[in-house]
Amino acid sequence: MKVYPTQSIRNVVLIGNTKSGKTTLAETMLFEGKVIDRRGSVEAKTTVSDNSEIEQIYQRSIYPALLYTEFMDNKLNIIDTPGSDDFVGGVISAFKVADTGVMIVNAQQGVEVGTEILARYAEKHNKPLILGVNQLDHEKANWEGALESLKKTFGKKVVIIQFPIDPGLNFKSFVDVLKMKMYVFKDENGTREEHEIPADLADQAAEYHQELAEMAAENDEALMEAFFDKGQLSEDEIRKGLAIGLSKCEIMPVFCLSGKKDIGIKRLMEFIINVAPAPDKMVQKLKTGETVPCEVTGQTSLFIYKTAIEQHLGEVSYFRVMSGKLTEGMDVVNHETGAKERISTIYAVAGKKRDKLTEIAAGDIGCTVKLKSVKTNQTLNSGPKEWAFEPIVFPPSKFRTAIKAKQEKDEEKLGELLNKAHAEDPTIRIEYSKELKQTILSGQGEHHINILKWHLTNTNKIEVDLFAPKIPYRETITKVALADYRHRKQSGGAGQFGEVHILIEPVVEGVPAGNRFKVEGKELVLNLKGKEEFTMDWGGKLEYYNCIVGGAIDARFMPAILKGIMEKMEEGPLTGSYARDIRVFVYDGKMHPVDSNEISFKLAGRNAFKEAFKKAGPKIMEPIYNVEVLVPSEHMGDVMSDLQNRRAMIEGMSSEKGFEVLKARVPLAEMHKYSTTLSSLTSGRATFTMTYADYQQVPAEVQDKLLKDYEASEKDE
């Protein structure tokens, strides 16, 4: 393959709700570019894009697929992404390296929640969107409905480039109001004829053409003047105006498509080449906020946007050349690790088909293999400038589960595989929780995690169990309490003796410790001698006061008492969860001249703490999350009542372009499998995000249940 200069490269990402027809469309684009001479289909499991076994089983895309095609002497890189929210990581990484998004909308449904969410990602990344109304050959295709929904969602940015003639089973032609021609398709392989626009459609076409010219003029003063002078613009002038408007994200042009019947695909590709921005038109930022021009004359710099482990090849690193040009055998340095890497082979990629390149220029996308240690989001430089491009920011997880190998011998291998899974798909996250003593796996949805499970079972032959993760409860106290504890052991050998008197109270932010207490009918005035303060690893505090007078306990035993208390805080007295925010005053005790030692005081401290804790109005606290749900209005009621059953506190509601945004605070304990429930309540038409907020006391009935459960589990052991 020849080396394409930066200006002859276009990078597009295909996005759209699941089943809108992206993979089928990509296949047709490759066919039009003659990368393949026969088109496969999703049903026959023969597309270039959905080439993994699991994608073929589910007949849907799961991984973002890099594809290229050569067209009109340009190289068109296409990333076909999965439509399902579960695999949104692939869409986000694709937006990092693509310059234009092509939003595919199913002509039967028009805009769906998926469409809306994906468009938000385009907006976030500042990438222009071309709109394709697809499947116009479907018997239920509804052009007017789809167009109306696009206008409702995207407003005045929407501008018609084409309108279909007779959408439905007989769909074979459309009018293009940029070219002012009618295209008629002769077969299902893209063979087309250009005709004059029929008289009965001429007025409609002229009206759309005028709207198009006006929109094109709006983004450029010279064009505006020309438009006012002549009352119209030439085709080239319109194209120029559209190019400006598109790259400023001010225009969303609409195309008519049937990916399956190869109608309109060539026109879409021509438009992409002629009008969509070349890679050097889009700004690439460094972590420092500076921008780097996408020029072949600059220092060679590659950004790794994805890594994958592929059969026969090993680790494959996908990159975009951000600047300069990459040649075979070039040495580069990883900005993050300082490691040197040699790029021995460069490939242009169309699914499993890979073409070796000797050189690849700024703006192009490709892959290489056998790098020693390169991860997603790293930059590789070949010059003195230590550039680091802004990383891809992956969304927070929506689904958590605990995972365990069925057989203990597989645990280590499972750990390795999970780490690899995270490297390939950063929206899969793994954390070993020391507190819960569980490995917590999280992702974008139950389906996302089940795909990983499928790989573990089928590809790696490891059986695993997925189960509800424990909740990281916290324990604290609400009032002052006292406890005296004597630890004494005198059976055989050396004895043990230690006695500790303590007072405990809650730590309240901003309220310092006093020294006078009225508790259990006693009045105590303590002598606050020494204070130590600890911030616990799990949040919250322990304040430890030495108030011993008259040498009742030797200073050398104070650390042992503290150790005993710390141990009990790590395994709270109520349910074994971490305790937090407690002040302990050690004010009295007793020693034995022979039998007192550290272990005795540690045990006395531990037990005194446990007793005092239980008398101090102990409470269990649970983590609360801020949850934001985006839901179509008609499902609002169901989503709301479901949330109320989850002890949610609804914080607000607002409307946004036909969807409702619902904000609530929900206990983590009630969020297990929420993504699955939400999906079934709304037929997959809603989405949500959740982020940790704070800890709050659990309601009394929940606390009772937790205490009973813990007691029962203690008895079992």
List the x/- string, 640-659, binding to ligand GTP by CB under 6 A: --------------------
d(CA 132, CA 147): 10
Helix (H) or strand (E) holding 609: helix 598-615
19 binds ligand GTP (CB under 6 A): yes
Shortest reach from residue 372's CB to ligand GTP, in Å: 33
CA atoms within 13 A on the CB side of 179: 18
Chain residues 37-96 in contact with Mg ion, contact rule CB under 5 A: 61
The residue at minimum Cβ distance from ligand GTP is 83
Our finding on whether 24 is near Mg ion (CB under 5 A) is no
Q: Which does 21 bind (CB under 5 to 8 A by kind): ligand GTP, Mg ion, none?
A: ligand GTP
Residue number, 61 or 496, with CB nearest to Mg ion: 61
Query: Which residues is 204 bridged to in the sheet?
Result: none
Angle at 139 (CA atoms; ends 136, 143), nearest 5 degrees: 40
Type of residue numbered 207: E
Q: State how far the alpha carbon of 283 is from the alpha carbons of 247, 280, 467, 703, in Å.
A: 11, 7, 45, 54
20 is an interface residue for Mg ion by CB under 5 A: no
With contact defined as beta carbons under 8 Å apart, do 76 and 24 qualify? Answer: no
Size of the site for ligand GTP (CB under 6 A): 23
3-state SS string over 398-446? CEEEEEEECCHHHHHHHHHHHHHHHHHCCCCEEEEECCCCEEEEEECCH
Told to check if 22 binds ligand GTP by CB under 6 A, we report: yes
Out of 11, 109, 247, 258, name the contact with ligand GTP by CB under 6 A: 258
Which of residues 448 and 580 has its CB atom nearest to ligand GTP in the complex?
A: 448
Query: Is residue 348 part of the contact set for ligand GTP (CB under 6 A)?
Result: no
- In the bound complex, what is the minimum distance in angstroms from residue 24's beta carbon to ligand GTP? 3
Residue whose token pair is 């309109």: 264
Note whether 499 and 487 are within 8 A (CB).
Answer: yes
Q: What's the min distance (Å) between Cβ of 674 and ligand GTP?
A: 22
Read off the tokens for 7: 């200006």
From 209, 240, 260, 685, residue interacting with ligand GTP (rule: CB under 6 A): 260
Amino acid at 347: Y
Smallest separation (angstroms) from ligand GTP to the CB of 197:
24
CA-to-CA distance for 536 and 570, rounded, in angstroms? 9
Among 41-49, 148-156, 384-392, 634-642, which window interacts with ligand GTP (CB under 6 A)?
41-49
Retrieve residue 379's tokens.
């930059």
Q: Which of 125, 127, 138, 448 binds ligand GTP (CB under 6 A)?
A: 138
Torsions phi, psi for 410 (to 5 deg): -85, -5
Stretch that binds ligand GTP, among 130-138, 157-165, 401-409, 653-661 (CB under 6 A): 130-138
Output the six-digit token pair for 65: 């697929």
- Rounded Cα–Cα distance for residues 109 and 494 (Å): 82
Examine residue 172 and tell whether it contacts ligand GTP (CB under 6 A). no
| Residues pairing with 659 in the sheet | 632, 656
**Is residue 17 part of the contact set for Mg ion (CB under 5 A)?**
no
- Name the residue type at position 583: R
Binding of ligand GTP by 267 (CB under 6 A): no
Q: Residue 353 CB, nearest distance to ligand GTP (Å)?
A: 19
Which of residues 6, 8, 11, 24 is near ligand GTP by CB under 6 A?
24
- Contacts (CB under 6 A) with ligand GTP, residues 57-76: 60-61
Task: Report the candidate in 636, 496, 460, 479 with the shortest Cα–Cα distance to residue 54.
Answer: 460
Minimum distance from CB of 375 to ligand GTP (Å)?
Answer: 26
Characterise 415 by phi-psi region: left (phi > 0), alpha (psi -120 to 50), beta (else).
Answer: alpha
Nearest to 481 by CA among 608, 367, 570: 608
Does 23 contact Mg ion by CB under 5 A?
yes
Which does residue 19 bind out of ligand GTP, Mg ion, none, counting CB within 5 to 8 angstroms by kind?
Answer: ligand GTP
137 binds ligand GTP (CB under 6 A): yes
Residue 334, binding choice from Mg ion, ligand GTP, none, Cβ under 5 to 8 Å by partner class: none
* Two structure tokens written together for 607: 């037990």
Note the residue count of the chain: 717
Options 33, 40, 64, 83; binder of ligand GTP; rule CB under 6 A:
83
Q: Least CB distance from residue 35 to Mg ion, whole Å?
A: 17
Binding site for ligand GTP (CB under 6 A): 16, 18-24, 41-43, 60-61, 82-84, 134-135, 137-138, 258-260
Binding site for Mg ion (CB under 5 A): 22-23, 61
